[in-house]
């Protein structure tokens, strides 16, 4: 089978700012279309990775290629759309004027009208950028990221500050893009966003990718199950049962994380045959993420 070409390729990539090592050796090979989410705590290195991929920051060592080209070359730029975390735009142009200007940078852009419609910007397309609200500015920036009909789109925290409707609209456009064969690399602090959108989730922690998998695989990486019930058995006793790795109390419920759910449950039932409202679930992505981003593998 023929391998699809690499869209984003990194090999032992490192980036330091003076003595701060923001990226400490990343290997990455994103091939083909889809949505790739990068999660990670503040300062994990997400924006640094995107800035290096855009050629806005020079890498310190290793290899980095974007659509087969070196970052920052004209060839790469004409195939890439982007929202940066701290993007800002000229105040005095209207949204429509900005979109028209950006469309002119690309070889096969969408029409300005189609872009305004896709991004639901009709209500403020003729307003000057400086008169927009924070969320409206973000939506205008998104339009500029897609107007060029690029192969690869980097979105650094694209939905920060958006209301629910605007966020859902943006998700729909992103999904549509992925279906059309585009590659979207986005960073987010919202697990719901990664779970809803991403085909693959990467978790960064202190400049390293500590997990790289589909949302369901990442859930599976966290072994065991979460038993939740109302029980008269005390926290101290629950902690000592076979297979139990942690216990937490949430309102009237005890939550027991166990790697041997059958044995833990049978011991719990013999201690308290009247335990109520029992559920057994896989740990949530949020729990797994919390453990992985603290470096616990
Ligand atoms: N221009 C810069 N000069 C010096 N240090 C920087 C610079 N940009 C980033 N850093 C440092 O590099 C590290 C990674 O920062 P980066 O912005 O990549 O993190 P991030 O994962 O995007 O975080 P956030 O979730 O807060 O956006 C941090 O320690 C940060 O202080
Ligand atoms: Mg960032």
Each residue's pLDDT tens digit, 146-199: 999 999 999 999 998 889 988 999 999 999 999 999 999 999 988 888 888 999
What atom of ligand 1 comes closest to residue 157's alpha carbon? 27
Across the range 125-147, mean pLDDT stands at 94
32 and 16 inside one domain: yes
Minimum mean pLDDT among 23-37, 94-108, 145-159, 211-225: which range?
A: 211-225
For ligand 1, mutation pick of 47, 154, 187 (most atoms within 8 Å of CB) = 47
In this structure, are 104 and 179 located in the same domain? yes
Contact between residue 66 and residue 129 where contact means Cβ atoms under 8 Å apart: no
Mean pLDDT score, 202-210: 92
Closest residue by CA, ligand 1 atom 7: 17
Do 167 and 262 share a domain, yes or no?
no
Q: Which two tokens stand for residue 284?
A: 């949530």
Q: Which atom of ligand 1 sits closest to the CA of residue 18?
A: 4
Q: With bands split at pLDDT 50, 70 and 90, how would you rate the model's confidence at 217? A: confident
Is the CB of residue 17 below 6 angstroms from any atom belonging to ligand 1?
A: yes
| Top mutation candidate among 14, 20, 83, 185 for ligand 1, by most atoms within 8 Å of CB | 20
Task: Clarify whether residues 264 and 276 are in a common domain.
Answer: yes
Give nearest CA residue, ligand 1 atom 30: 43
Model confidence at 55, pLDDT cuts 50, 70, 90, reads very high
Residue 256 belongs to some domain of the structure: yes
Is 118 inside a domain boundary? yes
- Other beta carbons less than 10 A from residue 232's beta carbon: 11
> Do the beta carbons of residue 184 and residue 199 sit within 8 Å?
no
Is 291 a member of any domain?
Answer: no
Report the phi/psi class of residue 55: left, alpha or beta, with left for phi > 0 and alpha for psi in -120 to 50: left
CA terminus-to-terminus distance, the chain:
33
- Would you say residue 13 lies in a domain? yes
Which residues lie at CB < 5 A from ion ligand 2?
Answer: 46-47, 85
What are 264-284's pLDDT values in tens digits?
Answer: 999 999 999 999 999 999 877
Indicate the residue among 168, 202, 219 that finishes a domain.
Answer: 219
Average pLDDT over residues 248-272: 94
The last residue of a domain, from among 182, 199, 219: 219
Q: What is the pLDDT of residue 293?
A: 62
Which CATH number characterizes residue 243's domain?
Answer: 3.30.70
User: How much of the chain, in percent, has pLDDT values that exceed 70?
Assistant: 94
Residue 295 lies in a domain: no
Report the distance separating Cα 92 and Cα 239, nearest Å.
62
Phi and psi at 61, nearest 5°, equal -160, 170
What pLDDT band is residue 255 in, cutting at 50, 70 and 90?
very high
Pairing of strands 208-213, 200-205: antiparallel
| pLDDT band, residue 296 (cuts 50/70/90) | very low
- CA–CA dist 50, 185 (Å, integer): 9
| Residue scoring higher pLDDT (149 or 297) | 149
Q: Domain containing 144 — which CATH number?
A: 3.40.50.300
Q: So what's the pLDDT on residue 297?
A: 39
Tell me the pLDDT band of 294, cut-offs 50, 70 and 90: low
Same domain for 178 and 251? no
DSSP-derived 3-state class of residue 145:
helix
Burial of 212 from C-beta contacts in 10 A (0-12 / 13-18 / 19+): middle
Considering only CA atoms, which residue is closest to atom 25 of ligand 1?
42
pLDDT tens, residue by residue, 94-124: 999 999 999 999 999 999 999 999 999 999 9
Q: How many domains does the chain have?
A: 2
Note whether residue 45 is domain-resident. Answer: yes
Gap from CA of 188 to ligand 2 centroid (Å): 9
CA of 49 to the centre of ligand 1 (A): 10
Residue owning the nearest CA to atom 27 of ligand 1: 42
Residue 11 has pLDDT above 60, yes or no: yes
Range of the domain at 242: 223-281
Are residues 47 and 24 in contact, defined by beta-carbon separation less than 8 angstroms?
no
Residue 292 lies in a domain: no
Claim to verify: residue 215 and residue 228 sit in the same structural domain: no
Among 188, 219, 250, identify where a domain stops.
219
Residues 115 and 214 in one domain: yes
Mean pLDDT, range 230-248, rounded to an integer: 95
Helix (H) or strand (E) holding 280: strand 276-281
Decide if 293 is inside a domain: no
The answer to whether the CB of 7 is under 6 A from ligand 1 is no
Task: Say if residue 201 is in the same domain as residue 248.
Answer: no
Q: Write down the pLDDT at residue 159.
A: 92
Sign of CA dihedral 210, 214, 217, 218: positive
Cβ of 149 below 6 Å from ligand 1: no
Q: Specify the pLDDT at position 2.
A: 53
Query: In sequence order, which ranges of 209-284 are alpha helices (DSSP H)?
Result: 215-221, 235-239, 261-271
Q: Which ligand is nearest to the CA of 44?
A: 1
Do 261 and 196 belong to one domain? no
Cβ 146 under 6 angstroms from ligand 1: no
Residues 199 and 244 in one domain: no
Q: Which atom of ligand 1 is nearest to the CA of 45?
A: 18
Q: How far apart are CA 224 and CA 258, in angstroms?
A: 5
Q: Are 119 and 168 members of one domain?
A: yes
pLDDT at 206 over 50: yes
Tell me if 15 CB under 6 Å of ligand 1. Answer: no
* 85 and 140 fall within a common domain: yes
The tokens 């142009």 sit on which residue?
Answer: 93
């Amino acid at each position: 089978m023929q391998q699809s070409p690499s869209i984003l390729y990194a090999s032992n990539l490192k980036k330091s700012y003076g003595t701060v090592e923001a990226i400490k050796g990343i290997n990455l090979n994103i091939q083909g279309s889809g949505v790739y989410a990068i999660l990670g705590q503040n300062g994990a290195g997400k924006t640094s990775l995107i800035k290096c991929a855009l050629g806005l920051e020079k890498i310190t060592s290793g290899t980095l290629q974007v659509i087969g080209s070196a970052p920052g070359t004209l060839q790469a730029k004409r195939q890439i759309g982007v929202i940066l975390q701290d993007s800002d735009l000229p105040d005095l142009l209207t949204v429509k004027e900005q979109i028209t200007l950006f469309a002119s940078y690309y070889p096969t852009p969408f029409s300005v009208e189609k872009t305004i419609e896709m991004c639901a910007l009709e209500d403020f397309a003729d307003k000057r950028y400086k008169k927009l609200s924070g969320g409206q500015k973000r939506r205008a920036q998104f339009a500029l990221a897609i107007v060029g009909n690029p192969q690869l789109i980097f979105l650094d925290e694209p939905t920060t500050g958006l209301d629910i409707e605007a966020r859902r609209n943006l998700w729909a456009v992103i999904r549509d893009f992925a279906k059309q064969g585009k590659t979207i690399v986005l960073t987010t602090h919202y697990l719901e966003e990664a779970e809803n959108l991403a085909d693959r989730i990467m978790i960064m922690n202190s400049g390293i990718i500590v997990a790289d998998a589909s949302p369901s695989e990442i859930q599976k990486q966290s072994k065991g199950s979460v038993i939740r019930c109302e029980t008269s058995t005390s926290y101290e006793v629950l902690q000592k049962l076979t297979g139990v790795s942690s216990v937490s109390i949430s309102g009237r419920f005890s939550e027991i994380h166990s790697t041997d759910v059958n044995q833990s449950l049978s011991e719990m039932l013999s201690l308290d045959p009247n335990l109520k409202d029992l559920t057994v679930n896989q740990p949530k992505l949020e729990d797994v993420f919390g453990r992985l981003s603290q470096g616990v593998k």
